[in-house]
Structure 1
Amino acid sequence: MRIGTLGAARITPSALIKPARSVDTVEVAAVAARDRPRAEAFAAKHGIPVVHDSYEALVTDPSIDAVYNPLPNALHAEWTLRALQAGKHVLCEKPFTSNADEARTVAEAAEKSGLVAMEAFHYRYHPLVERALEIVRTELGEIRHVETWMCFPLPRFSDIRYSLELGGGALMDAGCYAVHCLRTLGPGEPSVVSASALLQSPGVDRAMTADLRFPTGATGRINASMWSGRLLKIAARVQGTRGTLHITNYAAPQYFHRVTVTVDGLRRRERVPGEATYTYQLRAFAAAVDNGTPPLTPPEDSIANMTVIDDIYRKAGLPLRGTPYPA
Structure 2
Amino acid sequence: MRIGTLGAARITPTALVKPARSIPGVDVVAVAARDRSRAERFAAKHRIPVVHRSYEALISDPSIDAIYNPLPNALHAAWTLRAIDAGKHVLCEKPFTSNADEATSVAEAARRSGLVVMEAFHYRYHPLMERALEIVHTELGEVRHVETWMCFPLPRFSDIRYSLELGGGALMDAGCYAVHCLRTLGPGEPSVVSAAALLRSPGVDRAMAADLRFPTGATGRINASMWSGGHLLKIAARVEGEYGTLHITNFAAPQYFHRLTTTVDGVRRRERVPGEATYTYQLRAFRTAVHDGTTPLTPPEDAIANMSVIDAIYQKAGLPLRGEL
| TM-score, normalization by structure 2 | 0.99
The aligned counterpart of 1:51 is: 51
| 1:250 partner SS | coil
Aligned equivalents of 1:294, 1:80: Cα separation in 2: 18
**2:272 aligned with 1:275:** no
| Amino acid in the other structure paired with 1:293 | T
Encode CA deviations 1:180-210: one digit per residue, 9 max, x unaligned: 0000000000000000000000000000000
- 1:293 CA drift (Å): 1.7
Alignment of 1:243-262 (within 5 A): 243-262=244-263
Alignment of 1:175-324 (within 5 A): 175-228=175-228, 229-324=230-325
Aligned equivalents of 1:230, 1:188: Cα separation in 2: 27
| 2:309 partner SS | helix
Q: More displaced, 175-184 or 290-299?
A: 290-299
The aligned counterpart of 2:101 is: 101
- 1:53 CA drift (Å): 1.1
| 1:97 partner SS | coil
| 1:16 partner SS | helix
Aligned equivalents of 2:54, 2:317: Cα separation in 1: 38
Aligned equivalents of 2:108, 2:182: Cα separation in 1: 25
| 2:108 partner SS | helix
Aligned equivalents of 1:230, 1:134: Cα separation in 2: 28
The aligned counterpart of 2:31 is: 31
| Amino acid in the other structure paired with 1:310 | D
Encode CA deviations 1:188-241: one digit per residue, 9 max, x unaligned: 000000000000000000000000000000000000000014110000000001
| Amino acid in the other structure paired with 1:323 | E
Aligned equivalents of 2:78, 2:217: Cα separation in 1: 38
Aligned equivalents of 2:41, 2:324: Cα separation in 1: 35
Aligned equivalents of 2:164, 2:182: Cα separation in 1: 25
Provide the aligned C-alpha RMSD in A. 0.4
| 2:206 partner SS | strand
The aligned counterpart of 1:113 is: 113
Identity percentage of aligned residues:
85
Count of matched residue positions in the alignment of Structure 1 and Structure 2: 324
The aligned counterpart of 1:160 is: 160
- 1:47 CA drift (Å): 0.4
The aligned counterpart of 2:80 is: 80
| 2:174 partner SS | helix
Gaps of 5+ in 1: none
| Amino acid in the other structure paired with 1:62 | P
| Amino acid in the other structure paired with 1:218 | A
| Amino acid in the other structure paired with 1:292 | G
The aligned counterpart of 1:69 is: 69
- 1:28 CA drift (Å): 0.1
| Amino acid in the other structure paired with 2:200 | Q
- 1:25 CA drift (Å): 1.2
Aligned equivalents of 1:296, 1:180: Cα separation in 2: 12
- 1:22 CA drift (Å): 1.0
| TM-score, normalization by structure 1 | 0.99
Aligned equivalents of 1:52, 1:188: Cα separation in 2: 44
Aligned equivalents of 2:263, 2:304: Cα separation in 1: 34
Encode CA deviations 1:259-298: one digit per residue, 9 max, x unaligned: 0000011001000000000000000000010111210000
Q: Which runs of 4+ in 1 moved over 2 A?
A: none
Aligned equivalents of 2:26, 2:108: Cα separation in 1: 26
| 1:198 partner SS | strand
